[in-house]
Chain A
Amino acid sequence: MPSSTSNFKRKLRLPRLFFAKPSEIVPRDYERPIPPLPWRGITVVVVLIVIAAASAWEFYCRSIGYGPTLNDNEDLWTSTRRRVKPESVVIIGDSRAWFDLDLDELQKGLGKRPVQLAMGGSCAYPVLADLANDENFHGTIICSVVPRLFVAPPGTPPMERAEKAVRRAHTQTLAQRASQYLAMPLEEHVAFLKQEELTLDDLLKRLPIPNRPNALVPPRLPPYFGTLDRERRARMIEECARPGKLQSTIQQIWLPLFTPPPPPTYIPKDVFMAKMNDAIEARFRDITAAADKLRARGGKIVFLRLPHSGGLKALEDRTTPRTGIWDRVIKDTAAPGIYYEDFPELSGFNCPEWSHLSAGDSVEFSKRLVPHLRNALQL
């Protein structure tokens, strides 16, 4: 008969196996060489240099107008997307919805605090499709329309930016989520942590090096002119709202960005234009299908054309007139639309850098927009 001790050992077989000392394996004397240097002293000096350099860089960045703000990346977007409840009011679209719509005023007027899912330089469609495909969502979508971004074909940066964010929302790992939570307090206190402005890559891009005359180099993106909070509410900085070098620089950057690029050299022009038209027609169909799907569940959608001014307005009116994309979207989707120029109380605003309202004007604009939104949404 086995003793109680052997029973006990048998029961503990797995833990013993787990913790057993591997007696058969002998220590191997392979060791990487360690350079014989005074490592403590070197490390102390390195740490001091890095702290001094980072502090000097922070001081310099603040002295030239940069302030701490969150970076608008896919992880911040994902954390905001997670806040969408079945009956939420959700803002989607481009940077105009980001800068021009004040969440406090919309909350006062609509009774719910909107969730800000608009993204700078992005196409609204991937986010609209994501919400339309979310069976739990039957809330309200406020969708900003900048025609060139709204019909951007697949594979272009406006589409990829939005698709990347939507994809991240569905695939974000625990590690990515944790990094976002760790990064936010840092970004809120350190001015130089601006991923789209003060990284080494961006600093290199600013070097005034002329390109080959025939080089097809992408146009420059505008410099820093806004701050962002944890709700992804963007506000224009004062320096940009005032006439000056920053303002005029941004104005001149919008023009090439909003100018239709020439057709690629490797596709005949008529073939390219036919492809583009097909892509735009497909986008109209997709938008209509997404809107129908949302409304079939009791959701609502309203389209907005937000203010823009100066040379940029002239360019947009010429290249993407209202009768083109805007009218077609409203007609195809049979959804309400608010075109700011239709209403005197919405059309008197001036965009300092031609594309977005200043922080102060965005509050007043949103206040004036609320009655129109309530009317369009039949609230």
Chain B
Amino acid sequence: MWQKIDNITPLNAIEKTDKILDRLHLDGPLVFGILSILIFGQFILFSATSGDWTRLIYSVLRIFIGITVMVILAQLKPAVFKLATPWLYGIALILLLLVDIIGYSGNGAQRWLDLGLLRFQPSELMKLGVPMMCALYLCERSLPATSRELGVLIPLILVPAGLTIVQPDLGTGILILAAGTAVVIFSGISWRILSFLGTAALAFAWAGWSFLHNYQQKRILTFLNPDSDPLGSGYHIIQSVIAIGSGGVFGKGYMHGAQGQLAFLPERSTDFIFAVVGEELGLFGAIILMSLYLLVVLRTLYLATQMRDTFACLFSSSVAIMFFFYVFINVGMVIGVLPVVGVPLPLVSYGGTAAVTMLASFGILMSLHFHQKSNL
């Protein structure tokens, strides 16, 4: 009888869930963070589409696919990923080239391959491919990397990033660059080399940029970033800042944001969905969502430090950095402190395959975390 009562104490319930999560190779806090963001996101999406059930159902379906991929990947052994990495990178690179060539010969910008049933973006694969490849390359060598090894790493990152940027897809390109660079930095490369490389890159970019005419610069900017300013007056940013500012501390209430509901806010279900959060749920809601993001980033970094394998450490930490960049670039853009680049708010924005990729990388990360003993 006592036993029975014990069974339903909260403590016991938590222990039980822990066991289930353990068996599924899922990390409790991380899954809690991800699921909270996903649920929060679906509510906001429903409001941002002014109560469009069809889009909500599509979005929920996509998330289930993403979660399934995450759970399946978490069951696989790390050796599989290491083995798959060169293939993944190689295939993604070929597809990327293919898309670029089709894009040029076809009618302008093209980011995806149309496989009939779903449109597939090779650049999404590269978000996984680049950090995995860099991590794989470094894990077989003693660290920190030498300058000769850097000579391999830099093209390994820059080629796919560059191919993505000229698609043009500046947002994804920057994320690939960030993920790859994160691996290099976390591998312990000395600050001296890093600052040298950074300065060189900046100087190179500045020199190249200043050689161009004004109209060429403008053309490149609009080419790389066609969505940035369609009305030529920063309309997107003005409206999203008004939305957020007018939300105040507690917001105008769910489904009651005039800026969003009356279509003043552009792209409100995709790139500018954070403005809906700020308007309808206020500072309060925005900080809750940001805190959930921070929780996921920090938990991922923590898990990375608990790993014993160089590949695992480097890949996991780059996942955290990539996720952080997603949030930082998107929120920074929406609140008007960063330029407009087409980066969605991860796990919340509607559409695309970004959420699936992100969930897949969390799946790989958890696999690495739970299999580390057997791997060593």
Whether A associates with B in a native complex is no
**Which chain B residues have a beta carbon within 8 Å of chain A's beta carbons?**
none
